[in-house]
Structure 1
Amino acid sequence: MEPNKEALVELANYRMPFGKYKGEFLVDIPEYYYTWFKQKGFPDGKLGKMMIQMHEIKINGLEELIYTIKRDYKA
């Protein structure tokens, strides 16, 4: 698997580890939650990077891409 493909598969199958949406797939979390984090500051590390990516995906209307990856490539 190519590195970018692996990263997208991981992003599609990653679950929120804390907070209001704990246990939810990142793609299933509403856009407003990511917008709030953008204003307050995303967490450091891998989770923060994934949340930034998911925010970009959501504001550009590309969630279907992530749902397709999630369906076709289970982690």
Structure 2
Amino acid sequence: MNPEILKEICIAKMPFGKYEGTVLADLPISYLEWFHRSGMPKGKLGMQLATIYEIKLNGLMELLIPIRASVRNGL
């Protein structure tokens, strides 16, 4: 998995919808499941949402702990 993509999903915010302004990594799994059923958006956002969906679905949020810490610390 590309570490740059993981960093992006810890920084990028949802640009529209019910959770507009929410960091992608903080989106609830139910919202991600809805996108999975309905179709992910095209392009980079769709790839980012699909990535965080797979991370949450497989219980891998621990992967993001050091990345989120480095983002908070401005590294």
Which residue of 45, 48, 60 maps to 2:43? 45
Runs of 5+ consecutive residues of structure 2 not aligned to the other structure: none
Q: CA deviation at 1:7?
A: 2.1
After superposition, give the CA deviation of every residue in 1:48-70 in whole Å (9 maximum; x if it has no partner): 00000000000011123224312
Provide TM-score, normalisation by structure 1.
0.84
8 Å contact 1:12–1:67 — kept in the other structure? Answer: no
Q: Report the CA distance shift for 1:14/1:7 in structure 2 as closer, same or farther (over 3 A).
A: same
Task: Write the letter of the residue equivalent to 1:7.
Answer: I
Higher relative contact order (CA 8 A, sep 6+): 1
Runs of 5+ consecutive residues of structure 1 not aligned to the other structure: none
8 Å contact 1:16–1:22 — kept in the other structure? Answer: yes
**Mapped partners of 1:7, 1:32: distance in 2:** 21
Root mean square deviation, CA, Å: 1.5
Task: Write the letter of the residue equivalent to 2:24.
Answer: L
- Aligned-pair identity in percent equals 44
SS of residue in 2 equivalent to 1:33: helix
Aligned length: 72
Task: Write the letter of the residue equivalent to 1:66.
Answer: L
Q: CA deviation at 1:13?
A: 1.1
Task: Write the letter of the residue equivalent to 1:54.
Answer: I
8 Å contact 2:5–2:48 — kept in the other structure? Answer: no
TM superposition outliers: structure 1 runs of 4+ over 6 Å: none
